[in-house]
């Protein structure tokens, strides 16, 4: 007889206090993420052109990719708490420096450095969840983590808009303060998590070797990259579709808000179902739904049809995202959790580059071709995720020879 499934309340109440501290610190940090959403308006208001402001955002994206590698390595070497604290306190200082920068080369350099430092905390935070929470509760834990990010981001956008109406200086000060607060919370209230020195790792399998010899994990990363590239159409080409359907930008904004509302209302209840099922099958289902959702834009033109499309895409996101993080946590050796989580972050970062680039090119040639391609890509991503589930993690040898 199958054991009774734990309720959502039981899953949440069984999470350790340190996990709730991490979720609370994450919410504070995201609530104060004021600079990035308004950086284009800030730079153009200072007299820079739109392409120049766009290049500043691109510099942040480049730094964000590099931050995943560095953040994962630091998380495994100096501990999760120290990596988060260093990242957030460093981001606070760089944000204030960016506030004072006036020349374009300095702004570009600080944007790159800000991303490199600020985004380093992400692999460490995910690795700490893996350290603190047993496998059967990880989907719920990562869902709460995502909820803290999404709710903080949504509230922060509203608050940031109010502050920007008064002065952009408040944005930089508030962003720096929230980053510093998360850094202090981390250093005071979070545990170190797993730390492994380079000397200790000589007797273990290194992260790079562990990843490249795990065929199932590589297939999984391929599925995530394709899925992320599809997902990024929501900010790259979906607004163009809404506009060409004859609707204003406020309609697009309302559809994006609908995505956030659905996430807040349904993500935690749905994890009670997804958390009990195969990780790779849930990732396959989620990426398939995201791909099919965008494929419906071949015919979805009315507002009700677009709302249904957003519902399908959001359900796919809810089903796959927390489970994907839990799969990585389950798959990674304890001493390489930071770098495994970093590999997941790199796929999302690359998807943010590949998706808009290929998507806008395809849309310019033929919108219908793009939407059909999204559906095909969703099927391919689902197939890769299912194939990943058929490859168990390889048994890694431990070097017992004396040093």
pLDDT tens for 69-108 read: 888 888 888 888 999 999 999 999 999 999 999 899 999 9
Average pLDDT, the chain: 86
Assessment of whether the complete model's pTM goes beyond 0.75: yes
Q: Angle 61-67-72 (CA atoms, 0-180°, nearest 5)?
A: 145
Q: What is the pLDDT of residue 341?
A: 86
CB atoms within 10 A of CB 297: 24
Q: What is the pLDDT of residue 6?
A: 63
Residue 33 has pLDDT above 90, yes or no: no
Give the dihedral sign, CA 72/73/78/83: negative
The mean-pLDDT minimum among 7-11, 76-80, 183-187 falls in: 7-11
Tokens matching residue 156: 């922060």
Residue 176 has pLDDT above 70, yes or no: yes
Helices (H) and strands (E) in the chain, counts: 19, 0
388: left (phi over 0), alpha (psi -120 to 50) or beta: alpha
Q: What is the pLDDT of residue 203?
A: 46
Integer Cα distance of 197 and 206 in angstroms: 11
Q: What percent of the chain has pLDDT over 70?
A: 92
Integer Cα distance of 151 and 171 in angstroms: 18
Q: Which has the higher per-residue pLDDT, 176 or 239?
A: 176
Residue 200 has pLDDT above 60, yes or no: no
Q: Angle 142-148-150 (CA atoms, 0-180°, nearest 5)?
A: 100
Integer Cα distance of 268 and 290 in angstroms: 19
Residue 267 has pLDDT above 50, yes or no: yes
Find the distance separating the first CA and the last CA of the chain, reported in whole Å: 51
pLDDT in tens, 104-121: 999 999 999 998 999 899
The predicted model gives 263-271 an average pLDDT of: 88
pLDDT in tens, 335-356: 788 888 888 888 988 888 888 8
pLDDT in tens, 271-326: 888 888 899 999 999 999 999 999 999 999 999 999 999 999 999 999 999 999 99
Q: What percent of the chain has pLDDT over 90?
A: 40
**Enclosing H/E stretch for 175:** helix 168-189
Residue 8: helix, strand or coil by DSSP? helix
Q: Read off φ and ψ for residue 160, nearest 5 degrees.
A: -65, -40
What confidence category does residue 401 fall into, taking pLDDT thresholds of 50, 70 and 90?
A: very low
94 burial via Cβ count (<10 Å: 0-12, 13-18, 19+): buried
Q: Are 133 and 16 in contact (CB under 8 A)?
A: yes
Q: What is the pLDDT of residue 261?
A: 85
Residue 202 has pLDDT above 90, yes or no: no
């Amino acid at each position: 007889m199958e054991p009774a499934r734990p309720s959502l309340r039981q899953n949440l109440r069984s999470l350790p206090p340190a996990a709730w501290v991490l979720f609370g610190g994450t919410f504070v940090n995201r609530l104060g993420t004021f600079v990035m959403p308004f950086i284009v308006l800030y730079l153009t208001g200072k007299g820079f052109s739109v392409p120049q402001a766009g290049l500043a955002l691109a510099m942040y994206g480049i730094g964000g990719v590099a931050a995943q590698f560095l953040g994962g390595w630091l998380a495994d070497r100096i501990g999760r708490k120290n990596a988060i604290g260093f990242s957030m306190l460093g981001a606070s200082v760089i944000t204030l420096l960016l506030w004072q920068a006036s020349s374009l080369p300095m702004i570009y350099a600080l944007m790159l450095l800000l991303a490199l430092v600020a985004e380093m905390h992400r692999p460490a935070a995910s690795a700490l969840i893996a350290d603190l929470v047993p496998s059967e509760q990880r989907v719920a834990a990562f869902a709460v983590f995502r909820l803290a990010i999404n709710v903080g981001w949504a509230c922060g956008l509203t608050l940031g808009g109010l502050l920007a109406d008064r002065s952009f200086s408040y944005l930089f000060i508030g962003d720096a303060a929230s980053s510093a607060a998360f850094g202090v919370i981390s250093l005071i209230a979070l545990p170190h998590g797993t730390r492994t020195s380079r000397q200790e790792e000589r007797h273990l399998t290194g992260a790079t070797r562990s990843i490249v010899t795990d065929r199932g994990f590589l297939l999984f990363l391929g599925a995530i990259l394709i899925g992320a590239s599809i997902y990024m159409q929501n900010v790259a080409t979906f607004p163009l579709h809404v506009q060409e359907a004859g609707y204003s930008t406020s309609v697009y904004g309302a559809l994006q808000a609908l995505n956030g509302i659905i996430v807040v209302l349904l993500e935690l209840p749905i994890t009670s179902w997804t958390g009990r099922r195969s990780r790779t099958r849930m990732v396959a289902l989620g990426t398939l739904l995201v791909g099919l959702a965008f494929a419906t834009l071949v015919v979805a033109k009315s507002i009700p049809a677009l709302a249904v499309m957003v519902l399908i895409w959001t359900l796919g996101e809810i089903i796959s995202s927390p489970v994907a993080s839990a799969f990585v946590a389950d798959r990674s050796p304890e001493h390489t959790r930071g770098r495994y989580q970093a590999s997941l972050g790199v796929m999302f970062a690359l998807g943010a580059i590949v998706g808009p680039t290929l998507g806008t090119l395809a849309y310019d040639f033929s919108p219908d071709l793009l939407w059909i391609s999204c559906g095909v890509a969703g099927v391919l991503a689902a197939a890769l995720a299912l194939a990943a589930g058929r490859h168990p993690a390889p048994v890694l040898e431990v070097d017992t020879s004396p040093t």
